[in-house]
Each structure stands twice: as C-alpha cells, then as structure tokens.
Chains A and B, each alone.
Chain A
Amino acid sequence: MKTSSPSTYREAAVAGIDSAQLQKSLQGLQNRFGKGAMELWAGMADQEMRDRVKESRMKTFEHLDIVLAELAKNVRARGGQVHFAVTAQDAVNYTLAVAKKNEVKRVVKGKSMTSMEVDIDPALEQEGIEVVETDLGEYIIQLAGDRPSHIIAPCIHLNRNQIGRLFTDKLGIDFTEDPPTLTMAARKALREKLLTADMGLTGCNLACAETGMISLVSNEGNIRMATTMPRVVVALMGMERVVATMAEHRETLQLLTRGAALQKLSTYVSFLGGPASKDDPDGPREFHLVIIDNGRSRILADPEFREVLACIRCGACLNICPVYGKIGGHAYNSPYCGPIGAVVTPLLDGINKHADLCKGETLCGACKDICPVKNDLPRMLSALRHKLAYGSDRWNTRQHNPAEARAFRVWRLLVTRPFLYRTLIGLGRIVQRPFIGKEGTIRKMAGIAAGWTAGRDLPPVARRTFHQLWKEKYAGNRPTAPTIETPEEK
C-alpha cells in the first residue's frame, strides 16, 4: 500500500488543525453530509434495511469462495476475463500485462481506492503509459501532485481559489474561481483524454455474483465514458465487494449512495459485465475483472475483524468522526482515511506500522451510528489496541509500547490492592504540592501528563477523597455495605 508521506500521524494532524481553510471545509462537509446521513437513517421508512444488508454481507462472507466462483463464471460466460490476484503486486502485474499486450498508451481512470491501495499508477507510468484520473476531484488531486483526503470528496482540503490557480498553471486557462467555469475547463481537457484513451481502469463499487455484473456509481458520467470509449477495460475489485443476488445488490446500492452523498440513487450507475457483443454493441473489446485479496483473507479468517469487510466504502464515517473533522484525511497516510481507514489500514498494511491509527481516536462511537451497515468500528479499534498491547502472532504484531505495558502492570497491582491504592493517592497529594498554582490547579507537569497540561489545567488530588469523607461524615448510622473484607481494609 502506498504510504508516501514520511510525517507521523501527530505531525500531519497538527498541520491539518492549523489550516483554517481545511477546518472550514471539514466543518461544512460534516454539517451537511454527516448530519444529513443521520437524519436520513432516522427518517427511513424501512428501518430494517441496514440490518438486512449487514446480514446479507456477513452471510456472503461465510461462503465467499463459492460466491466469487459464481461471479467469475458469469463474467466469463459473457466473454469477460477474470483474474484472482493474491497480492497487490499480482494485480499490478496482471494489469500491466494487459496494457502491454494491447499496446496501451493512455489509461483513463474511474475513481478507485483499490487502485491506490495496489499502487498501480506508478507502475503504468514507468512503462511510459499516461494515466489520467477522470473523476473531477481525483483529476484535481492528480494535477496538483497531491493525495486524496476523503474517500468520496478527495480534494476537500483544497478551495476554489487554489483550484483556480492550479488550473491556470496546468491547463493554461485565465484565472477564475467560478466553479462552473473551472468544471467546464476540466471537462474539456478530460473529454480529449477520454476520447483518445486505449484503456479504462476502474474500481468496483459492487459486484453481483448472480448476474456477473459489476456496478460503478458516479455523478459526473466519467465512469460511463471511461468504460465504454476505450478498447480495453480493467476493473480492480477488492474480493469483499461481491454480493450474491440482484435483490441484495439493490439494497446495498441504495445504502451506498445514501451514505456517500445522501442520494437515493447516484446520477449514473454503470453495469459492466464483459466486452461488447452483437446484442450489446457499446463497450470495450476486452473486459478484465481483477479480484484482489491483498490481505483480505486474513481479515476474513479472524472473527474479531471480519465485520470490517462488510464496509461498502461510502465514507459516511468520515463525515461524522470528530477526529477526522479536525485532522483531515492526510494524517492517516493511507488511501483509506477516517474511522474506516483507522481500522482497515492497519489490518491490510501492518498493525505496528499504523499503531497511531489504532490509538488516535476517542472511541466516541459516532462512526458506528452513522455506518449504513452498522459496523462496530470502535470495537475493532479496541481489538487492534489489544493486539498492540501484548503482540499477536496471528497478525505478526509485536508489543507496541513496552513502557506502557509495564505501567499498566503496576496499575494492576494498585487497583487490586486497596491499601496500596489508597497509599499512593496520599502520596500523590504530597508530590503534587509544588505543581499547584495560585488558582489551585496544576498548570504544568512532566512526563506523560505533560500532554494534558500543554493545553489544559488539571485539578489536584483533593484534600479529602470521597473514600475519606464517607468514613468521616457519612458512614455512621447506615447499613453496612455487603463487601469483601480485603486484608488491607480490616
């Protein structure tokens, strides 16, 4: 997986927080789409649909091999070619081979996170093949040499002024901040690319095993052009994108467009299932479906994390997460950002490598509420932290922070021995004295607590704990608590 920026989560987070413009964009995004999705779910007449889709997703995973075989069979029956890629490199190699065989000079892309995950663009470019993103947001990102910062709205971190300057620089148009004018300039440039491309390269929103068709949603029509104009089309699909039946497909798609953009249906839904034929003359001469594992089997095999494969990549969790809402997408240093990225990136690309993603949330639970398939992301973040706490052979994970682990072992001694615990509180009361300021609070501390006092005051240990106050003021004339008599308390 491409992880281009060397900056750590915290550093990139600070950069995001310090950008007034990003803050404004994120606030606008979350106010509209986050709140909008919550209202949409609350007002949906069919309140069981989300549970039903989740159930069908999980049921499909129980026999994913059979469902994928059915999909492959039905795509092949229509003359399409199917390749199962075990790794990202495998997917890249296959796509390159298809491009070379067909003497492809120019590739037009439909928006695809999976293509970023396998990092296909540099491999194509190294072979002298021009790669052009055709989703407006992704096109802007490509022109700017930047990285997407949102799954659905990749250039949410750029404003119209920046985009205007970028277009002046890269497309040679007069400077304007007018969105329609900018869009028309991009449209003109992209049309030329779309009309002359040799290969279309897309992702896959959903694949239906029953029909042998994959479906792609867009609001710009770029995917329709990118999959019908070029001679060759390659679709990259994470192996969990599949649904078994058309009925399941219909409901899953409805949740996807609602979660992503509050739409009952996107402007375009393209169904692809093979090359052009006598009955269906529009379309490419070759159609390839690349079904990618790249670590998904390991997730599938672990009951603790299997649920994350049910994600339909709508990005709704980004639109409500209070952490994403402050730091933006770049801090996650992954094609998958926000709460879903914080869970799926470590699972696909290494838990130790992405430890900050596992630990850098408050577990507030907003992502779980907004998720169209009710994925329990906080539960999985907690499970990831569990792997980091002790290490895990299954996940090739080593203990992340031995000092923290030692601290918690000491903490364990204290909280299971009331006498020791009470003694330490008494000690804390003495140790804190030099740190207490005039206002009666602690304004500066060292070590781990420095993180707290950098921006906040800390109240000191009280003169009398409740434990002491109870004994002195309240315990008399009350029924005795039925409690264990620990040796320390006797």
Chain B
Amino acid sequence: MAGKTVSLFIQCLVDTMFPQVGEAMVAVFDRLGVPLAYPAGQTCCGQPAWNSGYRREAAAAARHFIEVFEGAEVIVCPSGSCVHMVRHHYPELFEDDPAMAAKARAVAANTFEFTQYLVDVLGVTDTESRFSGSVTYHDSCHLSRGLGIAMQPRTLLGNVRGLKLIEMRDSDTCCGFGGTFSVNYPEISTAMVDEKIENILATGADGVVGCDISCLMNIEGRLTRRGEKVKVLHIAEILAGLRGGDQ
C-alpha cells in the first residue's frame, strides 16, 4: 500500500516515556507498506498550556508545530487528545491572524489519529495482528467525544486473531487524568481513576487498551501502585503484535 507519506506526529509523552508505542506504530505502517517520515523538529503540540489557559504559550507551540508539519502530505498521531488539540484548538488560537489561521486550518484538516487514519482513510480494518488474551477498551474523552472515534479502534481490535474484547461498564467515563488537573487535584483524580480501575477489573480482562497514552499512563500508574496485574497497552502495541497477553 503506497500512497501518501505519513509524517509521524509522536506525542511528547510517547516520545519520552513510551517510545515503544511509536515503534509499534512504525511496525504497523511498515507492514502495510505505508511510507513514513518523522519531522525531527517536533516537540509538543501545546495542549498542556492550552488546558491551563496559557493561550499565548499554546499559540507559540502551535506556530512551531505548524512550521514543522505544514509540508507534510498527511500527519498521523497515536493520541486522540493531541489530534483534538490540533484539529479543534489550533484554528481558534489564530482567530485574529488570518494568515496563520489559514495555515492552522490546513494542518488541522490534515491531522489524523492513528486508528482513524487506518480505518477511515486507508480503509484498513484488519491489520493481520495476533494477540493472545482478553482486553477491555477505554474510550478516552477527547478521542470519543471530541473526535467521535469509538468504532475504529473496536473494529481493529475485533480483527486481531486470538484477542477477546470484553467491554467494561462506563468505558467512556473520564479516567481522571485531565492534564495538570491530575497533579493539582490528585485526590479527585485518583478517586476517578479508581472507579475506572474497578470497571476494568470487573471485566476480568488480562489487559486494558486505549488510544491515548496520557490516560493509559494514569490508569497504569494507579494499577501498579495498587499492585494489580492487569496490563496496560496502547492499541498500536496490540496491532504491531509487539507485546502479547501471555506471549
């Protein structure tokens, strides 16, 4: 499968703490024969500043992002909330600057979340992946509510050989991450992730899968602190077959 060259937009948390997720994405695209590029100047999309109200700083990050990515044929990112930032908030940030706003809109329209790109753009619903075990799926907020992406990951997971998907209760309820919220209001954040964890555990699944590493980092951080054995996986890792349930 040739076609457009995908410029990888690797979320800062994936880059620094979960590089295996980026590698998994590369593996999936390589298997599909999708040409890849990695614009080396990329840093952070600006979401932390935006969420905290620091719009000038967010705009600076956005400007940098647009400069780095504006020549890209298509931009794909393994994070729903970062794509939501680019798609929905970049154009808002430059409302008073028509030239930048036009560039922001162009980049926004050209930026896709990983599973969205696979299913909706490439039409790939089966990545011919294997996984041995059962997983449950967490709908992250900006992915499901903000971008309307809920069926794409489920479709992909449904076609993974050996994988059993068990839906959890309230899969689309927020995990309590919320960016700086998680450090400013740790008690509330922890209470929320505890409820998420109860719902995960109730499925009896071996692992929990999602498309946003920030939510997954929150869930995993609490799971390991509580001493739970449930594995936490980004969907790219499953599709790449890099980590398995009991492999």
Residues of A participating in the B interface, judged by any CB pair closer than 8 Å: 10, 13-14, 17, 322-323, 326-327, 359-366, 368-369, 382, 384-390, 404-405, 408-409, 411-412, 414-416, 418, 421, 425, 428, 439, 441, 443, 448-452, 454-462, 464-467, 469-471, 473-475, 478-484, 486, 488-489
Residues of B participating in the A interface, judged by any CB pair closer than 8 Å: 5, 7-8, 10, 14-19, 22-23, 26, 35-44, 46, 48-57, 60-61, 63-64, 67-69, 71-72, 141-142, 145-146, 173-174, 176-193, 195, 217-218, 220-222, 224-225
Q: Determine the residue in chain B with the shortest Cβ distance to A413.
A: B60
Q: Determine the residue in chain A with the shortest Cβ distance to B55.
A: A386
Additional A-B contacts beyond A364-B141, A478-B37 (17; CB < 8 A): A13-B188, A322-B173, A327-B191, A359-B52, A364-B145, A385-B53, A404-B52, A408-B49, A455-B222, A456-B218, A459-B217, A469-B23, A470-B40, A473-B23, A474-B23, A482-B39, A483-B69
Q: Determine the residue in chain B with the shortest Cβ distance to A422.
A: B43
Q: How far is the CA of A207 from the CA of B199 in the complex (A)?
A: 44
In the assembled complex, which residues on chain A have CB atoms less than 8 Å from the CB atom of B146?
A: 365
Name which of A327, A404, A483 has the most chain B CB atoms within 10 A of its CB: A483
Contact B72 A323 (CB under 8 A): no
B160 to chain A, nearest CB (A): 23
B30 to chain A, nearest CB (A): 9
Q: How far is the CA of A362 from the CA of B174 in the complex (A)?
A: 8
In the assembled complex, which residues on chain B have CB atoms less than 8 Å from the CB atom of A460?
A: 17
Q: How far is the CA of A391 from the CA of B67 in the complex (A)?
A: 29
Which 5 A-B pairs give the minimum distances between C-beta atoms?
A362-B178, A385-B53, A456-B221, A482-B71, A481-B37
> A414 with B14: in contact, given A369-B145, A409-B57, A454-B190 (CB under 8 Å)?
no
Interface residues of chain A: helix, strand, loop or mixed (majority): helix
Contact B53 A382 (CB under 8 A): yes
> A486 with B222: in contact, given A382-B53, A415-B61 (CB under 8 Å)?
no
Contact A387 B53 (CB under 8 A): yes
Checking A425, A451, A457 against B225 with a beta-carbon cut-off of 8 angstroms, the contacting residue is A457
In the assembled complex, which residues on chain A have CB atoms less than 8 Å from the CB atom of B37?
A: 478-483
> A484 with B51: in contact, given A322-B173, A454-B190, A465-B16 (CB under 8 Å)?
no
In the assembled complex, which residues on chain B have CB atoms less than 8 Å from the CB atom of A488?
A: 41
Q: How far is the CA of A466 from the CA of B23 in the complex (A)?
A: 7
> A327 with B188: in contact, given A467-B40, A481-B37 (CB under 8 Å)?
yes
Contact A326 B192 (CB under 8 A): yes
Contact B41 A483 (CB under 8 A): yes
Q: How far is the CA of A94 from the CA of B188 in the complex (A)?
A: 42
Q: How far is the CA of A366 from the CA of B123 in the complex (A)?
A: 29
Checking A17, A326, A362, A448 against B141 with a beta-carbon cut-off of 8 angstroms, the contacting residue is A362
> A462 with B182: in contact, given A412-B49, A486-B41 (CB under 8 Å)?
no
Q: How far is the CA of A455 from the CA of B222 in the complex (A)?
A: 7
List 21 interface pairs A-B (beta carbons < 8 Å), by A numbering: A10-B187, A10-B188, A13-B188, A17-B188, A359-B185, A360-B181, A362-B189, A363-B141, A369-B145, A382-B50, A389-B54, A390-B53, A457-B220, A459-B217, A461-B16, A465-B19, A466-B14, A469-B23, A470-B8, A478-B36, A481-B40
In the assembled complex, which residues on chain A have CB atoms less than 8 Å from the CB atom of B220?
A: 457, 459
In the assembled complex, which residues on chain A have CB atoms less than 8 Å from the CB atom of B48?
A: 411
In the assembled complex, which residues on chain B have CB atoms less than 8 Å from the CB atom of A450?
A: 183
Q: How far is the CA of A366 from the CA of B139 in the complex (A)?
A: 12
Q: How far is the CA of A42 from the CA of B243 in the complex (A)?
A: 38
In the assembled complex, which residues on chain B have CB atoms less than 8 Å from the CB atom of A486?
A: 41
Contact A17 B57 (CB under 8 A): no
Contact A364 B178 (CB under 8 A): yes
Contact A389 B52 (CB under 8 A): yes
Q: How far is the CA of A415 from the CA of B142 in the complex (A)?
A: 22
Contact B52 A408 (CB under 8 A): yes
In the assembled complex, which residues on chain B have CB atoms less than 8 Å from the CB atom of A454?
A: 186, 190
In the assembled complex, which residues on chain B have CB atoms less than 8 Å from the CB atom of A416?
A: 43, 60-61, 63-64
> A415 with B46: in contact, given A14-B187, A322-B174, A482-B72 (CB under 8 Å)?
yes
